[in-house]
Structure formats: C-alpha cells, structure tokens
Structure 1
Amino acid sequence: MLNVMIVDDEYMLLRGYRKIIDWAALGLEIKITEQNPLTALLQLQETPIDILISDMNMPELDGPSFVAQAKEIQPEMALIVISGYSDFDYVKAGLKQGAVNYLKKPVDTDELVEALQSAIKHIEKQKNYQQMADLAMQAQTRALLQSTDTQNGKNLMQKL
C-alpha cells in the first residue's frame, strides 16, 4: 500500500475525498488528512508519504509555499495539486515542484482516479530507476573488486 496525505482547508472536502473513491482498490491508504498546511509539514517530518494531494489556496500558508516546503521534506513523493481557481500561477507552482497533475475544484471523481493512477505509475518508474541504478553501482563495485588491472580500477573509482 502506498501512503497518501491530503491537505485542504475545507473540512467537508477532506471527509468527501475519503468516500468518493475506493482507495484500497488502487493500492492506496489515506494516512493523513489535514486542514492546516503548517501542521501537515510537521507530520511530513514523521510519516513517510508516497502521494501528497494539496489544495493551493489555504489561509495559513499559500499552496505554492506549502508544496515547496513539503517537497524539501520528502522530495520523492508524488504531488497532485488542487485549486478552485484557474490561476496559472498555481499551475506553474505545482509544475515547478514536479506535480504529476493539477485538478480544478470541484474535483471530478474520474479525474482524481486518473491523477492517482498517474502518480502510482510515476512512483513505480522512480522505484525501477532506483533499482537499476543500485544494480549498476553493485556491478561497478564488483568489477572494481575483481579487477587486477590497476588502470581499469582507477577509471572505475572515478566513475563511482
């Protein structure tokens, strides 16, 4: 199961997000829902999150600042931004933080499911890339340890 955090200052929306889709069927679990983005930042320091769904217009901290700080805490998590405004600055801020999607309120259930599926694919690609990078590093280390050619060993050390 992948962990999801939803941050939105509208309490009724937070409750509604839990009910509009079958999270478990997507392999997702809502770990945290939070109205206050400042509290959400504190929770991000303690709880690993795979997907962050965030409103972009909140009174305690604006969405662009929140998502930037959230990505500093957990840079690998996938980001879906939501806004009731069609302000391009919010879209731009989300894209700058690597958002996998931008949804406009009121959120369409099918669009949310598609955005979550995109986020899941994004996470899977990241994990596969990391696994390949780890395997490549192991192969280079093994080659270095087994090498009797000192020049080849020096070249491999420079790559590491």
Structure 2
Amino acid sequence: MRKVMLVDDEYMLLRGLKLLIDWESLGLEIVNTEQNPSLALKYLQDNDIDILISDMNMPEMPGPEFVAAAKKIQPAMELIVISGYSDFDYVRAGLQQNAVNYLRKPIDTDELLATLRGALDRLQAQQQQHQIASLAIQTQTRTLLTTDREPEQLQIIQALGIEFATPTTVRLIGGTKPLTA
C-alpha cells in the first residue's frame, strides 16, 4: 500500500476526502491527516509518505511555503495541491514543486481519481529508475571485483564515486553471492 497524507485547515474537507473515493482499491492508505502545516512537517520528518495532498491557502503557513518545505524533507513524494481559489501564485508554487496536479475545491471525484492514478504512475516510474540504477551499480561492482585491468578498475572506481585521499593500490576481495547456511 502506498501512503497518503492529507493537509488542509478545513476539517470537513479532510473528512470528506477520506470518504470521496475507495482509497484501498487504488492501493492507497491515508496514514495521516493534519489541519496544521507545522504539525504536518513534523510528521514528514519522521514518517515516509508517497503522496501528499495539500491545501494551498492555510492561515498557519502559506501553502507555497509549506509545499516547498515538505518537498525539501521528502523530495521523492508526489504532490497534489488543492485550493478554493484561482490564484496563479498557488498554481506556480505547485509547478515549482513538480506537483502532479492542481485541483480546485470542491474536488471533482473523477479528477481526483485521474490525478491519483497519475501520481501512482510517477511513483512506479521512480521505482523502476531506482531499480535500474541499482542494477547498474551492482554490475559495475561485479566488474570491479572480477577484472584485473587497472584502467578499467580506475574508470569504475570513478564512476562509483569512490575517492582516495592519496594514490593507492587497490586490491578487492569480495563475493557477489551470499553464503548459504
């Protein structure tokens, strides 16, 4: 299940969003709702979430400031911004934080569903990119462990971002598969 957090100073909207769609059928779980953006930021510091749905007009903290701070804490999470206003500054702030969409209140169910599916697609793409990067590092490491050609070793060491304070001869001993009991 992907984790969702809702942030809006309007309690009834938070409650209504929970009931608006079948979150579980999308593979989503609302793990936290906050009316206060400062409390939401504290939650984000200690808990990973996948999707943040946030109002852009809250009295405790301006929405643009909140979403920027939230994305700084968890840059990989997907962001959906909502507002009852047609303020271009809110739209721009959402775009600057790479928001999936900007939804106007009252929330249209179909638009919310389409936006959540878009966020899930983006999360899936991120996950695939991480898997590809991980496989590339594993391949480079395996090559580093198995080659005895120094120029190739040095090139891989640089590609992996390994740095030595002084020129060093490197001898690597390692296994690419864990031992079984």
TM-score normalized by structure 2?
0.87
Q: Distance in 2 between matches of 1:47 and 1:150?
A: 44
* Structure-to-structure mapping, 1:1-150, within 5 angstroms: 1-150=1-150
For 1:87, give the aligned amino acid: D
Structure 2, gaps ≥5 residues long: 161-181
Q: CA RMSD in A?
A: 0.7
Q: Distance in 2 between matches of 1:74 and 1:159?
A: 26
| 1:104-135 Cα distance to aligned partner (Å, 9 max, x none) | 11110110111110000110100000000000
Richer in helix (by share): 1
For 2:5, give the aligned amino acid: M
Percent sequence identity over matched residues? 61
Q: Distance in 1 between matches of 2:40 and 2:120?
A: 21
Offset of 1:5 from its aligned partner? 0.2
Offset of 1:7 from its aligned partner? 0.3
Q: Distance in 2 between matches of 1:49 and 1:152?
A: 40
| 1:11-49 Cα distance to aligned partner (Å, 9 max, x none) | 100000011100000000000011110111111112211
For 1:130, give the aligned amino acid: H
Offset of 1:137 from its aligned partner? 0.6
For 2:47, give the aligned amino acid: T
Structure 1, gaps ≥5 residues long: none
Q: Distance in 2 between matches of 1:149 and 1:101?
A: 51
Offset of 1:152 from its aligned partner? 1.2
Q: Distance in 2 between matches of 1:112 and 1:49?
A: 18
For 1:79, give the aligned amino acid: L
- Give the aligned length: 160
Q: Distance in 2 between matches of 1:42 and 1:156?
A: 40
Q: Distance in 2 between matches of 1:49 and 1:70?
A: 11
Offset of 1:156 from its aligned partner? 1.4
- Secondary structure in 2 matching 1:58: coil
- Secondary structure in 2 matching 1:112: helix
- Secondary structure in 2 matching 1:30: strand
Q: Distance in 2 between matches of 1:36 and 1:147?
A: 56
Offset of 1:76 from its aligned partner? 0.7
Q: Distance in 2 between matches of 1:47 and 1:137?
A: 27
